[in-house]
Structure 1
Amino acid sequence: SDIGANTLLLHPDTWVHSKPTPNRLRLLRDYVRDGGGLLMFGGYYSFQGINGGARYRKTPVEEVLPVNCLAFDDRVEVPEGFSPVLKGSSDHPILRGLGSDWPVLLGFNEVTPKDGAEVLATVSSDYGSLPLLVTGHYGKGRTVAWTSDVGPHWLPPEFIAWNGYKTLFEQMLSWATGE
């Protein structure tokens, strides 16, 4: 979750040796357009990230995502925790069998949903009911945005120990890959 755009964009041959290399962000976009799946998870170097350092805004990766990145640092720390609010149908393949009572999370990246995206879960209304779990389509492919992290510190031990933790991420992957 903490890989900034430059990590993907600037191959060592370009960064160290000043040699031209393929634009890997465009390759990811083309992969999704042609039927691939992409999951993007939140974190300090995801979406726009800490001090805007992830830099996915206005890239080919943002183009395929079901959300728009902000132009600035998008991290929202919630030390008291918030409970995810489910908006999607409980029979959606990603939400199936997870119930509506999820453990609290401690932070997320703020994004806005794109037109046509499906918001399956949001953060609590105390934090503006912003998107937490969003799905979308790009070309022949599917994309998922989970705006919190996949491990500590935004996911406390109770979330990681939750019976739905493994299932949630497996079902995200299955949906994105069309399985």
Structure 2
Amino acid sequence: RLLRDYVRNGGALLMFGGYYSFQGINGGARYHRTPVEDVLPVSCLSVDDRVEVPEGFAPVVTGTESHPILKGLGTDWPVLLGYNEVTVKDGAEVLATVSTEYGSQPLLVTGTYGKGRTVAWTSDVGPHWLPSSFIAWPGYKTLFEQMLAWATAKA
């Protein structure tokens, strides 16, 4: 509840994917139906939401480069190896999805809650779902810095 109130009053929340994010492995993260989920621009599933893609998928940038998070990143991002499945809430902005082979599910989503801003990145921030090619990509550092900068700017 403290996080929800913090964001409502102008704070920021960024949630990144992984084994214990969103609903996570065997549903063990348990963010579904919590005050944290209230704040997110996405809704969590009620079950294990991990989608493993060992062959990799290419992220699809759906937002415009004019969005501060996407500035200078282009549309050709390295492959990812998995993500947490979520659904987008009304009013949220989807900036990137997983590939069409996986139903164009949300990968990078922004939103607001009260006076605050929220970001959901449904893949990992390092290995397991981020292969070394993604971490070595010059846009890796920029992407996460720009997510943080956007979220912490005043809504």
Tell me which of 100, 121, 125 is aligned to 2:96.
121
Count of aligned residue pairs for this structure pair? 154
Larger Rg: 1
Deviations 1:117-145 (A, max 9, x none): 00000000000000000000000000000
Q: Pairwise CA RMSD of aligned residues?
A: 0.6
Tell me which of 4, 11, 35 is aligned to 1:60.
35
User: How many percent of aligned residue pairs carry the same amino acid?
Assistant: 82
Alpha-carbon distance in 2 for matches of 1:88, 1:99 = 10
Following TM superposition, the consecutive aligned residue runs of length 4 or more in structure 1 with deviations greater than 2 angstroms are none
Aligned position for 1:34:
9
Aligned position for 1:151:
126
Tell me which of 123, 134, 138 is aligned to 2:113.
138
Aligned position for 1:175:
150
Alpha-carbon distance in 1 for matches of 2:121, 2:89 = 14
Contiguous gaps of at least 5 residues in structure 1:
1-25
Larger helix fraction of residues: 1
Work out whether 1:80 is the aligned partner of 2:55: yes
Letter in 1 for 2:66: D
Alpha-carbon distance in 2 for matches of 1:82, 1:90 = 21
Letter in 2 for 1:151: G
Higher relative contact order (CA 8 A, sep 6+): 2
SS of 1:71's partner is coil
Aligned position for 1:93:
68
